[in-house]
Structure 1
Amino acid sequence: MNWIVIETSEINSETSVLVTGPRHEHIKNILKKKEGDLVQVVIPNVGNFRFQVIRLAENETVLKEVEVLPRELSPLSIECFFSLPRPQTTKKILHLAGAYGIESVFFFATETKNKEYWTSPVYTKEGSDLLFTGMSQTGNCQMPKVHMGKNENWKTFLESYTGTVQILDRVGTNEIEILREQGNATNQQLFVFGPESGWKESDWEFFERLSLNTVSLGNINLRTEFAFSSLLYFLFKN
């Protein structure tokens, strides 16, 4: 954790904030800050800051804003769709989404997925904390929007999407480099990650009917979180 994430609702009228729990422990025991020292702070959807440690007690820290910093990184203006991953995989996805600052993450249950995954805390109450974990690592200040399409049809969603839809698959007709050649990497795009077992024949027929682009990240089978990481790395470096 290189940055401390603080929400605007925590900051009082004097631009100070009282921090307890894991963030306090991190400031005290990991960063080993003392009163008067400075810490880097991320305020989601606001920016990057430097706060000073005003008071450091046994169970709490009081921080006060002293400086506005330039944005640590430019977020990726992309959206990503995932075919309801295993909860442990989703934790990694949300961490990466927070670290890179993508615009939106969508979770939908395609026909082959285990609907019981929806009952996991990662889909009900842990999402924001996992995004914050990623943001605290990189200093990204754009909070990704997370949409849980629990009772929605994923094909209807894709049909209604107004931007460019990129279907990711090992056997996609276009290599990922084509995005750079076409200059599309900054347009509104939805990257669709399917089930790790692969798309069904009826899915491919659906994609063809909508004339959707298919993109390959390479000729090897990747687990969802590794494929997502590969895509983010490629887009971020370009």
Structure 2
Amino acid sequence: MNWIVLRKEELDPTKTVRFSDHRHHHIKTILKKKQGDSVQVVLAEEGNYLFKILQITETETIATEEVTLEKTFDPISIHCFFSLPRPQTAKKIFHLAGAYGVKSLSFFATETKNKEYWTSPIFNKEWKEWIDTGLSQTGNYLLPDVHFGRYENWKEYLKSWKANVIVLDRMGINDFKNQNELNIKPKDDLFVFGSESGWKENDYHHFRENKYLTISLGKINLRTEFAFASLLYDLFKS
């Protein structure tokens, strides 16, 4: 944890905050901070700051805003769709989305997915905590919009998208390295990650019928979280 993540509602009117949870433990035990020291803070949706520690005890850290830091991290503001992943995979997706500053995440149960995944705590309450782990790693302060399409038709959702729909598939006829030639606009387009078992033939028919781009990240099978990381890396370096 390089940054302490904070929500605006945790601050009192004097911009002072009390930490008594895992963040206090991290400040005291891992960072070994003392009264008068400063810690790096991500204030979600606001920015990056240094907070000065006013008091630190066995059970609590009290800190106040000291300095506003200049923005140094450029988020990857993209929209991504996932065929409902396994909860353990979802943890990694939320972490990466928080780390890179992804604009939005949409989760849908396509026909091949286990709908029981919806009952996992990851998709009901823990997802915010996993996003925070990404913020705490890189200093990104922008939170993704998260959409859970539990009762929606995923194909209709794709059809309603206002910009390009880009299906990521190892059999894609286009190479993502040629994104400029393909007129891809990462901040507007929707990147679609399928289930690890692959798309069905009627799915490919739907993609062709609606003229979606089918892009390959490489000719090997990748687990969803690795495919997501690969896309983020390609966009980050470009």
- Scaled by the length of structure 2, what TM-score is found? 0.98
Instruction: Provide Cα deviations, 1:18-55, integer angstroms capped at 9, x if missing partner.
Output: 01110000000001100101100001111111101111
Closer, same or farther: CA 114–43 of 1 in aligned 2, 3 Å: same
Identity %: 54
**Which residue of structure 1 lines up, in the alignment, with residue 51 of structure 2?**
51
Confirm whether residue 7 of structure 1 aligns to residue 3 of structure 2.
Answer: no
Cα contact 1:193–1:224 (8 A) shared by 2: yes
Closer, same or farther: CA 80–120 of 1 in aligned 2, 3 Å: same
Hey, what's the Cα distance between the residues in 2 that align with 1:226 and 1:9?
A: 34
5 Å-filtered alignment, 1:159-238, equals 159-182=159-182, 184-238=184-238
Residue 145 (structure 1) shift: 1.1
**Which residue of structure 2 lines up, in the alignment, with residue 19 of structure 1?**
19
5 Å-filtered alignment, 1:67-216, equals 67-182=67-182, 184-216=184-216
Amino acid of the structure 1 residue aligned with 2:152: E
Residue 89 (structure 1) shift: 0.2
Cα contact 2:79–2:187 (8 A) shared by 1: no
SS where residue 177 of structure 1 aligns?
helix
Residue 180 (structure 1) shift: 4.0
Cα contact 2:78–2:190 (8 A) shared by 1: yes
Amino acid of the structure 1 residue aligned with 2:93: I
Instruction: Provide Cα deviations, 1:65-123, integer angstroms capped at 9, x if missing partner.
Output: 01111123111121100000000000000000000010000000000100000000000
Hey, what's the Cα distance between the residues in 2 that align with 1:19 and 1:183?
A: 47
Closer, same or farther: CA 181–67 of 1 in aligned 2, 3 Å: farther
Instruction: Provide Cα deviations, 1:117-157, integer angstroms capped at 9, x if missing partner.
Output: 00000000101100001100000011011111011110010
Gaps of 5+ in 1: none
**Which residue of structure 2 lines up, in the alignment, with residue 63 of structure 1?**
63
SS where residue 206 of structure 2 aligns?
helix
